[in-house]
Structure 1
Amino acid sequence: MNVSSSSRQSLGTLLPKIVVAPTFVVTLVFIYGFMLWNAWLSFSSSRMLPKYDWAGFIQYEKLFANDRWWVAAQNLLVFGGLFIVICLLVGLFLAIFLDQKIRAEGAIRTIYLYPMALSFIVTGTVWKWILNPELGIQRMVREMGFESFSFDWLVNADMAIYTVVLAGVWQSSGFVMALCLAGLRGVDENVVKAARVDGASMPLIYRRIIIPGLGPVFFSALIVLTHIAIKSFDLIVALTGGGPGYATDVPATFMYTYSFTRGQIGLGSAASMMMLMAVVAIIVPYLYSELRERKQ
C-alpha cells in the first residue's frame, strides 16, 4: 500500500508537468527561439536570404541612416501619444457616465465594449470605407447640400496618421472604460459619503479623491495601450496601407516592408529588435512594480 501510495503521489506530481511540457517546449522554440534567431540576423549581412555571419552593427547603422525609419518612428510617437491619451480620457469619461447608475447601463456598456470584440483588420476596413472621400463622410455631407465640405484626411499625407488615431480610439476606448468602471465600483462609498457630508460636490470628489485613487488602473491601461500602439500593424495595413506614400508608416509596417517585399531581412530584423526593446522598456518596469507590490 505504501508503494502504491508513493507511486500515486509521484504520478500526481509529474502529471501536471507532463501535460504542460508540450506547451512549454513550443513556446520556448517558436517564441523565444525565434526571438534569438531574429536577434542574430540583425547582426548579420542577411539580405534576400538569411546569412549567419557576424557583421556587427551594420544593419543598425543602415536603419538609423534610413529616412523612412525616422518617419515611422515619428508616426509611432504621434499615433501612440494621441491614441493613449485620448483613450484614457474617453474611457474615464464613459466610466464616470456609467457610474451614475443610469438606466439601461448594461446595454450601453455592451455598446461601448463591442468595438473591442472586433479585430483591427475589421476596424481598419470599416473606417477606410467611412473616411473614403468618394464613399464615406465627405460624400454623404456633400449630398446633403454642403458642396464645399471636405474631409480627405485618408488621402492627405499630413493628416492620414490622425485617421489611424481615430480608428484606434474608437476600438480601444471601451477597454479603458471597463477598467476604469471596475476601479470606480471598487471605491469605498463611505469615503464618498463622508466627503459629501463635509460639503464637497461630486465633481470635486471625483477630481480630488476618486480619480487619484485610480492610479493602478491608469497604469495598467497605459501598459496595454502602449503595447497595442507599438504592434499596430494590422490596423494601419487595413486602413491606409502605410500611405499615402509612406506617410503612415510605423516600425511594424517598416519591418514588414523591408523584410518581405524588399528582400532586406537583416534590416527588417534590426527594426523588429528595436520594437522589441521598446516593448521591454515598458514591460520590465511594470513587472518590477507588480513584484514589488507583492513583496510588500
Structure 2
Amino acid sequence: MTAMTEREAATAMTKRQPGPSLRGWFQDWLPRLVLAPSFLLVLVFVYGFNLWTLFLSFTSSKAFPTTNLIGFTNYLRLWNWTFETDPPSNWYTALVNMGLFGGLYIFFCLFLGLLLAILLDQKIRGEGILRPIYLYPLALSFIVTGTAWKLFLDPRIGLENALHDWGWTSFHFDWVVDPKMMIYCVAIAGIWQSSGFVMAMFLAGLRGVDGEILKAAQIDGASTYQTYRRIVIPMIRPVFFSALIVLAHMAIKSYDLVLSVTGKNPGGAAELPSTFMYSYTFTRNQMAIGSASAVIMLMTIAAIMVPYIYSETREQNR
C-alpha cells in the first residue's frame, strides 16, 4: 500500500511539472540568435576570403580572378625556384626588411615596455600621470604616427633643421630619405607607438605577483635586481608570450606605417611582405603572386600562434 502511494505521488508530481515554456526557450536561444549574424560575417569575410585567397594563389589570375589552376607555379616563382618567368625582384628585399623591422620592433618594445613597467611598479610619485602619457601613442593610428615621425625626421623641416638653427651645424640625421636606412625609421615609429601597450601588459602582470613572495625574497637578502631577475620576471612568462604574439602579428601586417613614414615607399626601399602583397595585387596586376605572398604571411602568423595556443591548452589541461 505504501509502495503504491509513493508511486502515485511521484506520478502526480511529474504531471504537475510544466513543460518548457516559450520564455525559457527564448532565454536559451537569445544569445545564439544575437551572436549568429556576427559569427556568419566572420565565417564569410574572414575564413571565407582566406580560402578564396588560397585558391587564387594556385591560379593564373592577373588583374581579375580566374579559375585557371596552375599549381604551385606562383610559389615557385615567388621564391625564384623556377626560371620560366622572371621572379619578383623585391620579395627577398621584403623578407630581409621584415627580419630587420620585426626583430628591432619586437625586441625594443619588449625591453622598453618591461623597463617602464618595472619603474612604474615602484609606486613612484606621479604614476597616475605617467601611465596615460606612455599609453597615449597607442590611441593614434599608424598613419598619424608615421606622418608625425616623417615630419620629425625630415632633414629639411624636422630634427636636423632645428639643431642647425640652434647652431649645431655638424649634426646630420637623414635616415628618412636614405633608402638604406628607411626601414630603421619605420622601426623607430613602431617602437614609439607600441611600447606603451607592452608596458601596460607587463604592469598588469607585475601587479598580479603575490606580495608575500617579494617580502620573503627581501627577508632572504635578495636585492631588487635579483628579485626581478630570478623571481618576478619568470613568474610573468605568460605575459611575455602574449606580448610576443601581439607584436609579431602587428609587425607582419604593418602596411600603413611603412607608407606614412617613407612616403609611399619610394623604390621599395622599405618593402615588407604586406606592401609587396598590396603592390602586386592592386598596382602591378599580379593578383596570383600577391595572393601567394598573402598566404605565406598567414602561414607565418599561424606558425607563431599555433605553438602558443597548444602550449597554453596543454598547461590548462595539466
Please report the TM-score for the alignment, with normalisation by the length of structure 1. Answer: 0.96
Q: Please tell me whether residue 38 in structure 1 is matched to residue 16 in structure 2.
A: no
**Greater CA drift, 91-100 or 56-65:** 56-65
Partner of 2:64: 49
CA distance in 1, matches of 2:32, 2:52: 27
Contact 1:242 1:249 (8 Å CA) reproduced: no
Distance 1:157 1:256, change over 3 A: same
* Secondary structure class of the residue paired with 1:10: helix
Question: In structure 2, which of residues 245, 249, 272 is the aligned counterpart of residue 250 of structure 1?
Answer: 272
Partner of 2:9: none
**Greater CA drift, 211-220 or 265-274:** 211-220
The AA in structure 2 aligned to 1:166 is: I
Shift of 1:3: 6.4
Partner of 1:226: 248
CA distance in 1, matches of 2:281, 2:52: 14
Q: Please tell me whether residue 19 in structure 1 is matched to residue 19 in structure 2.
A: no
Query: Where do 1:1-296 residues align within 5 Å?
Result: 5-65=20-80, 66-241=88-263, 243-296=265-318
Shift of 1:290: 2.1
Shift of 1:6: 3.0
CA distance in 1, matches of 2:76, 2:142: 32
* Secondary structure class of the residue paired with 2:113: helix
Contact 1:124 1:236 (8 Å CA) reproduced: yes
Contact 1:242 1:248 (8 Å CA) reproduced: no
The AA in structure 2 aligned to 1:189 is: G
**CA offsets 1:117-147 (integer angstroms, 9 cap, x no match):** 1111110111010011111011011111122
Shift of 1:242: 5.5
Contact 1:157 1:243 (8 Å CA) reproduced: no
Unaligned runs of 5+ residues in structure 1 are none
* Secondary structure class of the residue paired with 2:172: coil
CA distance in 2, matches of 1:287, 1:10: 35
Distance 1:286 1:241, change over 3 A: farther
- Identical aligned pairs, as a percentage? 54
Which of these two proteins has the greater Rg computed from alpha carbons?
2
* Secondary structure class of the residue paired with 1:245: helix
CA distance in 2, matches of 1:133, 1:149: 10
Shift of 1:5: 4.0
Distance 1:158 1:282, change over 3 A: same
**Greater CA drift, 15-24 or 124-133:** 15-24
Unaligned runs of 5+ residues in structure 2 are 1-15, 81-87
CA distance in 2, matches of 1:134, 1:52: 51
CA distance in 1, matches of 2:261, 2:252: 16
Partner of 2:12: none
Contact 1:124 1:239 (8 Å CA) reproduced: yes
RMSD: 1.4
**CA offsets 1:9-37 (integer angstroms, 9 cap, x no match):** 22222222222111111111111111111
The AA in structure 2 aligned to 1:288 is: Y
The AA in structure 2 aligned to 1:215 is: R
Please report the TM-score for the alignment, with normalisation by the length of structure 2. Answer: 0.90
The AA in structure 1 aligned to 2:122 is: Q
CA distance in 2, matches of 1:240, 1:180: 31
